[in-house]
Amino acid sequence: MSEREEPAGTEAGGEPWPSRLYRHLKHVGVRQMAFVPDAGHAALIDLFCADPDVSSNVLTTEEEGVAIAAGAWLGGRRSVLLMQSSGVGNCINMLSLPVIGRFPLLMLVTMRGEWAEFNPWQVPMGRGTQAALEAVGVRVMRADTAEDLVETVESAAALAFDADQQIAVLIGQRLLGRKKW
């Protein structure tokens, strides 16, 4: 949690949302996880990386994760791609693979450039993330509270894996908390 001001939000039962997301994603059969290191996803990344039943792939660039997700699906596995909103811009061309190929794609995108952002370089892509994804045919869902996030990811996973859809869940920066540097 070195880059986060506050720990991940907790629900009424006291369980942090990353734990609930991890448990649900495992329940729906996610066995492959790809990520670019990100403080907003740190707890979820740690949970997946510690699981010997999940193949975790650290990426050098986000579009590699789109290809890994397609390959996982072709190999009979379900996957999730974790990235920051600034990485969405890196993926635009590669997103044609799951959209045109009709491969399921589930992306969890932590937002930057919104709530209490300190880095001006994050603002333009933060503003354009949803529009960019929708322009290439990816359905976008958004969550700004821990309660909404878990329910939204449950819905997104069903759409992705049961209806062969390409879904990005945007995780609002307010939920993640203000970053300290």
Residue 84's CB is within 10 A of a number of other CB atoms, namely: 24
Q: Report if residue 8 sits inside a domain.
A: no
Q: Please give the single-letter amino acid code of residue 22.
A: Y
Q: Report if residue 121 sits inside a domain.
A: yes
Residue range 63-81, pLDDT digits in tens? 999 999 999 999 999 999 9
Contacts of 69 (CB under 8 A, 6+ apart): 32, 34, 79, 80, 81, 98, 103, 104, 105, 106
Residue range 35-68, pLDDT digits in tens? 999 999 999 999 999 999 999 999 999 999 999 9
Q: What's the total number of domains in the chain?
A: 1
> Token pair for residue 27?
């329940």
Q: What DSSP element (H or E) covers 13?
A: none
Q: Report if residue 45 sits inside a domain.
A: yes
Q: Report if residue 145 sits inside a domain.
A: yes
Phi-psi region for residue 8, left (φ > 0), alpha (ψ -120 to 50) or beta? beta
Q: What is the pLDDT of residue 78?
A: 98
Residue range 88-97, pLDDT digits in tens? 999 999 999 9
Where residue 180 falls among pLDDT bands split at 50, 70, 90? low
Q: What is the pLDDT of residue 151?
A: 95
Q: Report if residue 165 sits inside a domain.
A: yes
The domain containing residue 104 runs over which residues?
A: 17-176
> Token pair for residue 99?
């959209």
Q: How many distinct helices (H) and strands (E) make up the chain?
A: 8, 6
- Looking at residue 125, which CATH number applies to its domain? 3.40.50.970
Q: Report if residue 118 sits inside a domain.
A: yes
Q: What is the pLDDT of residue 8?
A: 46
Q: Report if residue 90 sits inside a domain.
A: yes
> What is the model's pTM?
0.91
Q: What is the pLDDT of residue 1?
A: 36
Residue range 93-133, pLDDT digits in tens? 999 999 999 999 999 999 998 988 888 998 889 999 999 99
Q: How far is CA 1 from its chain centroid? A: 18
Q: Report if residue 132 sits inside a domain.
A: yes
Return the percentage of the chain with pLDDT > 90, whole number.
Answer: 78
Residue range 151-161, pLDDT digits in tens? 999 999 999 99
